Chains A and B, each alone.
Chain A
Amino acid sequence: MKNKILIIILLAVIAASAFLGYKTFLSPRGIEGSKNVTIQVIVEKENIDKNFNFKTEHEFLIELLNENQADLGLSLKKYELGSMITGMVNYTADENKNEYFHIYVNELDATSGPDEIPLNNNDHYKFELKKW
């Protein structure tokens, strides 16, 4: 049992080092400075297609969303993994109908949640209600 505990401790140290390495070299990085970005929200079944333009100093999308929560009619859930958008323009995605807000960055599928999407000048972020 003593050996197992030692191996687990050693493994925890290796894992912590690997996390640190990921954070340092591979995780997305924010860019400092002023940016002009557009947020588009589409809820087709409600005939909603709205554009919001922002000038911001923030580095990640989640910071911009949080700051403009009221204007965007935004609601979100926070998980240990990050934030999940549950509502935009005061429309809440109905989980029972498998609805969710799909995020596009410059018309490409986002590969991470809003917590990890860095803001770049002239970027276009689209939130479209979809079903999974």
Chain B
Amino acid sequence: MVKLKAKDIAIIGLLSASITTGKLVLSFIPNVEIVSLLFIVYTIIFGIKRSIVISIIFSTTEIFIYGFSTWLLVYYLVWPMLIIIIHFARETIKTEYGYATIAGLFGLFFGAFFAVAESFFYGSAYGLTYWVRGIPFDILHGVSNFVIVLILFNPTVKAMTYVYKSINR
């Protein structure tokens, strides 16, 4: 059970809102997003527990915005998965290149995660077709994730470190 202080609840609310806003702002460009970057940075600065709570709030907000769909269920798995990977990889990764690689691979396999889930609902043939049809979007997602994290990782970490220090004064 995660015990949260009032300060945690406030910061989690703000960070959850920033992720939803970040997604909506870029939603007009297919498969280009800053959600991966923000989850990576939040995990590094604010820790795994807060980040997982943020991912649950973010996924639930998506359901409120878009309505319930099978693909939204996968959100409850993929974002915590990214957070857990970053949590364990942060000790060994020393530069933004490592995080950009993880983000790139995460984007590249994003469609595959959904295809596996769709297979449970509609059969493996549908899941395979779903994945193959989405390959161009997965390529775009992987490349854009890599570039976004490579360029924006350091400035975002700097900004979030400032926020973290400010709230912990």
| A interface with B by C-beta (< 8 Å) | 4, 7-8, 11-12, 15, 18-19, 22, 26, 80-81, 98, 109, 111-112, 116, 132
Q: Are A81 and B132 in contact (CB under 8 A)?
A: no
Q: How large is the interface on B (under 10, 10 to 19, 20 to 34, 35 or more residues)?
A: 10 to 19
Complex interface: chain B residues within 8 A of A15 (CB) = 139-140, 142-143
Given contacts A8-B150, A11-B143, A22-B135, A111 and B67 within 8 Å (CB-CB): no
Cβ 8 A contact of B139, one of A4, A18, A98, A111 = A18
Which of B8-16, B86-94, B122-130, B159-167 lies at the interface with chain A? B122-130
Complex interface: chain A residues within 8 A of B168 (CB) = none
Q: Are A111 and B133 in contact (CB under 8 A)?
A: yes
Complex interface: chain B residues within 8 A of A26 (CB) = 132, 135
Complex interface: chain A residues within 8 A of B139 (CB) = 15, 18-19, 22
Given contacts A18-B139, A111-B126, A112-B133, A80 and B30 within 8 Å (CB-CB): yes
Q: Are A98 and B143 in contact (CB under 8 A)?
A: no
Given contacts A15-B143, A81-B30, A111-B130, A22 and B150 within 8 Å (CB-CB): no
| B interface with A by C-beta (< 8 Å) | 30, 67, 69, 122, 126, 129-130, 132-133, 135-136, 139-140, 142-143, 146-147, 150-151
Can you list 28 pairs linking A and B with CB atoms under 8 Å apart?
A4-B150, A4-B151, A7-B150, A8-B147, A8-B150, A11-B143, A11-B147, A12-B143, A15-B140, A15-B143, A19-B136, A19-B139, A22-B135, A22-B136, A22-B139, A26-B132, A26-B135, A80-B30, A81-B30, A98-B67, A109-B122, A111-B126, A111-B129, A111-B130, A111-B133, A116-B133, A132-B67, A132-B69
Provide the main secondary structure of the chain A interface: helix
Given contacts A11-B146, A15-B140, A109 and B67 within 8 Å (CB-CB): no
